[in-house]
Amino acid sequence: MTAPTVAVTGLGVVAPCGLGAEAFWAGLLTEPADGDRRAVPDWDPSPWFANPKEARRADPFTQYALAAADMALAQSDGLDADPARIGVLIGTGIGGISTNETQIVTRHEKGDRRVSPFLVPMMMPNAAAAAVSMRYGFGGPCEATVTACAAGTHSLGNAIQLIRTGRCDAVLAGGSEAPLTPTSLAGFGNMTALSKSGVSMPFDERRDGFVIAEGAAVLVLETLESAQARGARVLALLLGAASTADAHHITAPSPGGAGAVRCMELAIADADLAAADIVHVNAHGTSTPLNDAAEAEALAKVFGAPGPAVTSTKGVTGHALGAAGALEAAAVVLSMLHQQIPPTFGLERPDPELPELDLVRGGPRPWTPGPSLSNSFGFGGHNGTVVIAPAA
């Protein structure tokens, strides 16, 4: 029996450059704001909660996930499936770190009895997935993939398998992150991961680290057959995915991007395609010296030079850790719908030491949408790739 094709019928986005899919898209084409971090501006959770007390009992990363899921379901317009067969897979890198940090300070300053009884359910990495499941009564698999910066992409890949194998008729999949706390920023800064210049410059010879960000994206996935049967608009298709490990170092990628090469090759094979079929890659492109070099080498090994069109939307969004892969998959879907590839903002002087890539820069590039990759590579050596194709 042929496995069903997985369709995207809804997407919701909470991002520093825009709230909602179309605002997010407009933001991807706009020069990013200055600053050493990318926060969701003027965030107001009230539209997604019954009252302020309910909102206060949800960490920001859960608030973002609930908002993104609501938007995605609204666009999917009447998802028609047995709730017991609808899954929720929302990944994260560090979960409710804001709640955790705040409550540790509370305990230190005021004692044990002042620690919130909601600490654990608010900080746990599965809180966002659980909240979405409970909000809508979805009783299928409800899981949180925690694979650092690959978590959002891995969630999409795992969702594909749930639908292909017939375990689920639909899955809400994505990632959410809210890491902009003082201790988190200090930790990333002290490990020299953050940009000292405060500018994200993927694949640029001046790149000096990533600009940390927050946000969430959730995609509604279902079989193409079910989407067509209910007359839903199909935004894109998820043709395949893969996951590999570098088995090399806790933060540095494997030399030559070996793990990334295997991941991309396996994802392309899973989609029943060849490397020559891929016309666009939304790169992980964090703006760190080692990551961009390893990914550029990996892309050259898989596709040759210059290969398909490559962009890193992190030039605008910054790096939202476990939400990054979901945000970037949403960017690819929107690129297909708008028939433009966003440029890599911050990229002015491509690093001459890197292999030649067809980097999109200077402005959006018109294109005829075709099979595309979205790459994510996380601390711990976690690699994830998803293959996305236009609905047509």
CA distance 8 to 249: 35
* Active-site amino acid positions: 149, 284, 319
Using omega within 30 degrees of 0 as the cis cutoff, is the peptide bond preceding 352 cis? no
**What is the torsion angle, in degrees rounded to the nearest 10, for the CA atoms of residue 257, residue 260, residue 262 and residue 267?**
-160
In 10 A of CB 82, how many CB atoms?
12
CA distance 291 to 312: 12
Alpha helix (H) ranges present in 217-370? 224-229, 258-270, 289-303, 314-317, 324-338
Q: Which residue has the tokens 């029996």?
A: 1
Burial class (CB in 10 A: 0-12, 13-18, 19+), 56: middle
Strand ranges (DSSP E) for the chain? 6-15, 18-19, 37-38, 86-91, 142-143, 170-177, 212-213, 215-223, 236-245, 280-282, 309-311, 340-341, 358-359, 365-366, 372-378, 382-390
Q: Which residues of 166-205 are buried (b: 16+ CB within 10 A; e: fewer)?
A: eebbbbbbbbbbbbbbeebeeebeeeebbbeeebbbbbbe
CA distance 104 to 111: 10
Distances in whole angstroms, Cα of residue 44 to Cα of each of 40, 51, 64: 10, 12, 10
